[in-house]
Amino acid sequence: MIGISVLLSALLGIGPSGAEDRASVAGPRPQVCDNPTDSMDLFAENLKDGKIGYGRTEGTARIPGPTIQMQEGDCLQINLVNDTDERLSFHPHGVDYTVASDGTPLNKSCVAPGTSRTYVIQAHAATTRTDGSFEPGTAGYWHYHDHCRGTPHGTTGIKKGLFGALIVRRTGDPVPDRAPHVLVMMGRTFNLKRAPRTPTVKADLGERVEFVVIGHGESFHTFHLHGHRWADNRTGLVGSPADATRIIDNRVVGPADSFGFQVIAGERVGPGAWMYHCHVQGHSDAGMAGIFLVTAADGRMTKRTSGVLKAWDQMHRTHRHGDADRDGS
């Protein structure tokens, strides 16, 4: 009878020379591209109150982490440095990567404390497969997060703040007048904060503003923006008068969902303090709300808007925000 080891050797093509032949069969695990078009450093660091964040340089970690922006056709090398005391990783959504850049314990692509690792991701344009079927490109509003800390799924890392936005654009996509505003819905928080400490999105009247909304944790939410609306598609924009895309101002957000959109600040409604919030009533009552502050075109704020902001701050500082979060701060 043929021994199991002999049979396995025959199936795997491993000869009697042993380790050298085994190495040649396994081979290196190649990245998704040989020559990245760009490179960036990402530092994972401990923050106060037990939280953790990603930053572009040492000492700049924040929550959410830096927004990564790519164009279809780009290949990006990310050098993740782990300056914390436990393993963690970078795991992307929506783009191309090999198992070497999966960022999971499953594919042994975590980063040990005090070490670094290179991840490579690629954004491809639309193409036609060899069988003639259409393959769409990777343009869209995506995100990245840890997948190693605490559990094989990075649950502890995510709950402590290891997440960020990843935007892939097509050539010709409109770009905002300012940096995108990233809002991560988790527990009863935006970006691990409750009102009145939630982010204030600021813009002057008439500016093009970009929102990126991401869900994490255990709960489902609904994101609603007062006074503004967007198209329920890849960009949040209507392409032409004939475009029948549904126009919305509220969207359901589940764990690991992500979407984005652009609005013209104050279009048809004027400046003011416009609320964004989760429309699950108990969630908004628990502090899951923030302000989209639209000032006059010259950047000035009216006395009325100033008064509204003071009242907002006072209301949430004196209001008792329900029970403690199950999956956020």
**pLDDT tens readout for residues 209-236:** 999 999 999 999 999 999 999 999 999 9
Arithmetic mean of pLDDT over the chain:
90
Same domain assignment for residues 158 and 44: yes
Q: For residue 28, is it within any domain?
A: no
Final residue of a structural domain among 125, 147, 169 = 169
User: What pLDDT digit, counting tens, does each position of 71-85 carry?
Assistant: 999 999 999 999 999
Task: Kindly report the CATH number assigned to the domain that includes residue 143.
Answer: 2.60.40.420
Share of the chain above pLDDT 70, in %: 88
What pLDDT is attached to residue 251? Answer: 98
Name the band, by pLDDT with cuts 50, 70 and 90, for residue 319.
Answer: confident
**Does residue 20 surpass a pLDDT of 50?**
no
Question: Average pLDDT in the 135-145 region?
Answer: 97
Same domain assignment for residues 45 and 98: yes
Q: For residue 23, is it within any domain?
A: no
Same domain assignment for residues 247 and 200: yes
Question: Average pLDDT in the 261-287 region?
Answer: 97
Same domain assignment for residues 195 and 309: yes
What pLDDT is attached to residue 136? Answer: 95
What pLDDT is attached to residue 13? Answer: 38
Name the band, by pLDDT with cuts 50, 70 and 90, for residue 19.
Answer: very low
Same domain assignment for residues 229 and 250: yes
- HEC readout, the chain: CCCHHHHHHHHHCCCCCCHHHHHHHHCCCCCCCCCCCEEEEEEEEECHHHCEEEECCCCCCECCCCCEEEECCCEEEEEEEECCCCCECCEECCCECCHHHCCCCCCCCCECCCCEEEEEEECCCCEECCCCCEECCCCEEEEEECCCCCCCCCHHHHHHCCEEEEEEECCCCCCCCCCCEEEEEECCEECCECCCCCCEEEEECCCEEEEEEEECCCCCEEEEECCCCEECCCCCCCCCCCCCCCEECEEEECCCCEEEEEEECCCCCCCEEEEEEECCHHHHHCCCEEEEEEECCCCCCCHHHHHHHHHHHHHHHHCCCCCCCCCCC
Same domain assignment for residues 164 and 215: no
Q: For residue 285, is it within any domain?
A: yes
Same domain assignment for residues 68 and 99: yes
Same domain assignment for residues 308 and 186: yes
Same domain assignment for residues 214 and 285: yes
What pLDDT is attached to residue 239? Answer: 87
Question: Average pLDDT in the 303-313 region?
Answer: 94
**Does residue 125 surpass a pLDDT of 60?**
yes
Residue predicted with more confidence, 21 or 199: 199
Final residue of a structural domain among 148, 169, 190 = 169
What pLDDT is attached to residue 22? Answer: 34
Q: For residue 43, is it within any domain?
A: yes
**Does residue 29 surpass a pLDDT of 80?**
no
Final residue of a structural domain among 119, 136, 169 = 169
What pLDDT is attached to residue 26? Answer: 45
Contact by Cβ (8 Å): 220, 252: yes
Same domain assignment for residues 197 and 129: no
Question: Average pLDDT in the 249-259 region?
Answer: 98
The residue range of the domain holding 76 is 38-169
Q: How many domains does the chain have?
A: 2
| Other C-beta atoms lying within 10 Å of the C-beta of residue 209 | 22
**Does residue 24 surpass a pLDDT of 50?**
no
Residue predicted with more confidence, 29 or 325: 29
Q: For residue 323, is it within any domain?
A: no
Same domain assignment for residues 45 and 82: yes
Same domain assignment for residues 300 and 196: yes
Q: For residue 16, is it within any domain?
A: no
What pLDDT is attached to residue 322? Answer: 56
For residues 270 and 96, give the distance between their C-alpha atoms in angstroms, rounded to a whole number: 41
Q: For residue 29, is it within any domain?
A: no
Q: For residue 325, is it within any domain?
A: no
User: What pLDDT digit, counting tens, does each position of 156-204 carry?
Assistant: 999 999 999 999 999 999 999 999 999 999 999 999 999 999 999 999 9
pTM: 0.88
